[in-house]
Chains A and B, each alone.
Chain A
Amino acid sequence: MSMRPLDAAVAPSDYDGGGVDIRLRADASSRRPALIAFSLAIVWLLLGSLWGDLASFKLHWPDFLSGAGWLTFGRVRTAHLNSVVYGWASLAMIGTALWMIPRLVHQELRWPRVVEAGIWIWNVGLVIGIGGILLGFNDGLEWLEMNRYFADPLLVIGGGMIGVALLATLAARKVSHLYVSVWYIMGAFVWFPILFLLGNAPWWSGVESAGVNWFYGHNAIGLWLSAISLGAIYYFIPKVLGQPIYSYHLSLLGFWTLAFFYALNGMHHLIGGPLPTWMVTTSIVASVLMIIPVLSLAINHHMSMVGRFGALRYSPTLRFVVLGAIAYTAVSLQGMFTALREVSRITHFTHWTVAHSHVGLYLFVSFVMFGSMYYIMPRLVEHEWPSARLIRWHFWLVLIGIAIYVVGLTIFGVLQGLALLDPQVPFERSVTASLPGLYLRSLGGVLITAGHFVFAYHCYQMVRMPAVERALPNFYEVRPVIYSGAQVEEAS
């Protein structure tokens, strides 16, 4: 893509990025709340990873740590999901949103103390909710297991305080045009509270409860986790490359089609269930319509990167974010096909679904959040990451780990599904068919957890580094962070 002349492309007004001064003031206003959100996100990431590994071990070693009730599969698996979704991913996204919105609207973050209080209240809710799950208090709805009377209200209050402060910042903006990332992020902060309140309302029962449950569950993925992650992708790729996104028109088309079609997707989780057929069919059609936002992102990100893939060697931000964007395309295409009845017959109720959800929640959302944090953290603590080696370890451990995890569960999940469909095959054989995949899942999970501990240690090192060392520049010339061949020796 050829460059556009500065004077023609960037009028010195609303369309200018605003200059370094505005960025620095915006960064300073969100520094403390964003750092708190990121720090707590990492704590939940570690806890969630340990719960996930434990749950995975129990699938092939069912007697492993089975003596205590709070360590049984049903509790640790649920604690894993809630820790990583509402702890790690949500808090990392909140930190990213707190840092990005003031920058994008050229306005300092409003009510930062309220935001900080909101983050702490959200975390108290998580401790009560996830602690309650481990003690056996579970609301019994997937993605909504935390107690609706003691834990969820705290998430609503805490999240509401954060959302209101962001809306106030948006209302006081000093730009008239809203960049596509603002649409994604602020859309998520409007959609999610509605969905969370609806999903947790106590009066649903029977079939309606199942419908509302998956309406919430799927939209929490698409209109909360995906929306903020997509907003981050549209910010970091052009920012690091130093050029606008390939097609801004496509990026807006992607946002508005997501806004109009995504909400109808959730019922495809209930194919074969006792819901009106028109509901499930509508959901399948809406799922296929997701090809529009998915392709718009895929084309946009690929065409923006063409000729510049070498940048992935230099920027950990770009490396994680671009892989996350690729995973978004992959998981969305998977999701579209899985929504079809013919495919769902094979994959539903198998480990394939677990692989699919990890492509979405880990390879897409978590990778984008890692990339975002690699960019944002040095600007929050005004200090460079201490070690390129630790970044490499983090990257390769989590990438290899998730590759093993997803490939293993995908292949053996399909074999499990085919065995389940064959009436001549005894049920036990569907279990043994999936067993190699479960071992691979544990292996991948352990590697991922190791990567998370490396990342957490690196963040700790960075934040705790003495001021005297912070004052020193770490390097004067830009060199690749990911090396290949002879460069490895040169780097070490």
Chain B
Amino acid sequence: MMFPSSLAVILTGILLGGLSLAAFGWAWLRGQFSNLDAQSTVILDTRDYLLERPWETGVQRAEREAAYGPLVKPATGEWGGAE
């Protein structure tokens, strides 16, 4: 009863776990876990940092400007909005 009723689930659980383990090993060997702070920025390009965000406070805006340079006005509907 113990194994006949659950063999499929055990084997598939091992398969999925094994795949995850293999992917983890590959990621480790390929350096996917190094320099993580820089990795976190891959989705943002220079323009993303420079866009003026209307919801940011004066302090936040000044911080952004100090870090990235003069801010630029966003294009129409930059954040998926509408008018």
Contact = CB atoms under 8 A, between A and B. Distances in A.
| Co-assembled chains A and B | yes
A131 interface: no
Contact of B32 (A6, A178, A307, A318): A178
Given A10-B46, A239-B48, A275-B6, 14 more contacts: A6-B68, A175-B42, A235-B43, A240-B80, A244-B41, A267-B9, A276-B2, A307-B57, A308-B55, A371-B80, A375-B80, A386-B82, A391-B81, A479-B81
Contacts of B35: 15, 177
A153 interface: no
Interface in B57-83: 57, 60, 63-64, 66-69, 73-74, 76-83
A382 to B, nearest CB: 11
Interface in A254-287: 256, 259-260, 263-264, 266-267, 274-276, 278-279
B8 A248 contact: no
A475 B76 contact: yes
Q: How large is the interface on A (under 10, 10 to 19, 20 to 34, 35 or more residues)?
A: 35 or more
A7 to B, nearest CB: 9
A208 B49 contact: no
| Residue of B8, B17, B35 most packed against chain A (CB within 10 A) | B8
A263 B66 contact: no
A262 B45 CA distance: 33
A160 interface: no
B6 A276 contact: yes
Given A211-B8, A384-B82, A17 B54 contact: no
A478 B21 CA distance: 46
Contacts of B40: 238, 244-245, 248, 251
B20 A260 contact: yes
Contacts of A315: 79-81
Contacts of B16: 191, 194, 219, 223, 263
A76 interface: no
Interface of B: 1-2, 4-9, 12-13, 15-17, 19-21, 23-24, 27, 30-33, 35-49, 51, 53-57, 60, 63-64, 66-69, 73-74, 76-83
A378 B44 contact: no
A2 interface: yes
Nearest to A240: B79
Contacts of A249: 36
A166 to B, nearest CB: 15
Contacts of A377: 80
17 contacts: A3-B63, A3-B68, A6-B68, A9-B37, A10-B38, A11-B38, A15-B41, A19-B46, A20-B45, A179-B39, A194-B16, A243-B49, A248-B37, A256-B24, A264-B13, A388-B81, A390-B82
A178 B19 CA distance: 17
Interface of A: 2-6, 9-11, 14-20, 23, 103-104, 175-179, 181, 187, 190-191, 194-195, 198, 204, 206-208, 211-212, 215, 219, 223, 235, 238-245, 248-249, 251-252, 256, 259-260, 263-264, 266-267, 274-276, 278-279, 307-308, 310-311, 313-318, 371, 374-375, 377-378, 384-388, 390-391, 473-476, 478-481
A316 B49 contact: no
B6 A474 contact: no
A198 B39 contact: no
Contact of B82 (A5, A15, A275, A385): A385
B81 A242 contact: no
